[in-house]
A = this chain, B = another copy of it.
Amino acid sequence: MFENNSMFETDYNYNEAKIIIFGAPFDSTTSFRPGTRFASKTMRSESYGLEYYSPAQDFDLIDVPFFDAGDLILPLGDSKKTLNIIEDYVSQVMADEKFPLMIGGEHLLTLAPVSVAQKKYGDIALIHFDAHADLRDEYLGVKLSHASVVRRISEVLNSDSIFQFGIRSGDKKEFEFAKENTHLQKFNFDGLDDVIKKIKDRHVYFTLDLDVLDPSIFPGTGTPEPCGVNFLDLMNASFKIFDNCNVVGFDMMELSPPYDPSGISTAVALKLLREFLIRINKKFISEKSF
């Protein structure tokens, strides 16, 4: 009789679910235009406008056991406490052998689940889709910044563990750092197959900054960067990762609804989320276990 306001109106509870979605509404270090704190809430309320069935995969989301935990309570203005809270929750999810799926929030937050995964598995490889390299050592003296998140992650992971695709923005030093320390593919997903082969025996964390998409497709983000990838290329590249890697965690970051008055960015994020939930679930099914 009453509306169900969870993501895609999912009815599964934590115990039934294999995939655990949670929102992380934090954007305090956003240097340009804040607003990603509203992403998960907006996605939840707009998820009503999308069908649960995927014509592309001929599969119904209703058959994917995922739980929507809601939004974490995060102390805006305190990045360290915020990261700790996320780490605590992801640790619990991973301890329960479930798959954490974080909806950001600014990209800095990815540091938390990657750190947890590295602690648990010891050999995490990071696949990073983004328009921006996020490799600054600091931003105006701030080490915990959305512009430094992959640099911070590089200090947590073993060497040869970071694989970046679609990057089309950064300062000169970031690209120099990348030459020494990461695998960085500019502009597109070329070489993804080789990377996947290379890391097929490792545990993988996959972080998706949605601004890797072209701003015409995804205008609702804090730092739109022209000349990005298109929807199908992103979806197919992501499918490859979910299908062929041992992905242990995933996040979708940087949707900023206030800069998306027509709502098309939220629709894009939701459609990707639906397709990814189905895809991750298929992996579970084929493996009969997580």
Chain A contact residues, CB within 8 Å of chain B: 1-3, 5, 22, 27-35, 37, 41, 45, 48-53, 55-56, 60, 69-79, 81, 85, 89, 108, 139-142, 144-145, 167-172, 175, 186-187, 214-217, 219-220, 223-227, 231-232, 235, 258-264, 267-268, 271
Since A34-B37, A78-B141 are in contact, a sample of 10 more A-B pairs with Cβ atoms closer than 8 Å, ordered by chain A residue number, is A2-B70, A2-B72, A31-B76, A32-B49, A75-B140, A75-B142, A214-B216, A215-B264, A219-B262, A225-B267
**Copies of this protein, total:** 6
- Measured CB to CB, the closest approach of chain B to A106, in angstroms, equals 9
Q: Is there an interface contact between B226 and A76, defined as CB atoms closer than 8 Å?
A: no
Whether B81 pairs with A142 at a CB distance below 8 angstroms is yes
Q: A28-B76, A85-B1 are in contact. Are A55 and B167 (CB under 8 A)?
A: yes
Q: Which B residues are in CB contact (< 8 Å) with A140?
A: 73-76, 78, 81
- Evaluate contact between A3 and B77: CB separation under 8 angstroms: no
- The prevalent SS among residues of A at the interface is loop
- A262: nearest residue on chain B (CB-CB)? B219
Contacting A226 at CB < 8 Å: which of B29, B187, B260, B267? Answer: B267
Query: Quick one: which of B45, B227, B263 contacts A232, CB cutoff 8 A?
Result: B227
How near does chain B come to A279, taking the closest CB pair, in angstroms?
15
Contact of A268 among B3, B28, B226 (CB under 8 A): B226
CB distance from A59 to the nearest CB of B (A): 9
Known A75-B139, A140-B75, A216-B217: A52·B171 in contact at CB below 8 Å: yes
A48 contacts across to B, CB distance below 8 A: 32
When chains A and B are docked, how far (Å) is the Cα of A70 from the Cα of B6? 12
> Quick one: given A33-B49, A34-B27, are A77 and B2 in contact (CB under 8 Å)?
no
Q: How far is the CB of A245 from chain B (nearest CB, A)?
A: 24
A-B contact pairs, 6 of them (CB 8 A): A1-B89, A3-B72, A29-B76, A55-B187, A75-B139, A215-B217
Output the least CB separation between A155 and chain B (Å).
Answer: 18
Q: Within 8 Å CB of A85, what residues of B?
A: 1
- Is there contact, CB below 8 Å, between A217 and B226? yes
Residue of chain B at shortest CB distance from A144: B77
- Chain B's nearest CB lies how many Å from the CB of A139? 7
Most buried by B among A1, A69, A78, A217: A78
Q: Which of A29, A77, A226, A235 has the most CB of B within 10 A?
A: A77
In the complex, which residues of chain B have a beta carbon less than 8 angstroms from the beta carbon of A217?
214-216, 226
B264 touches A216 (CB 8 A): yes
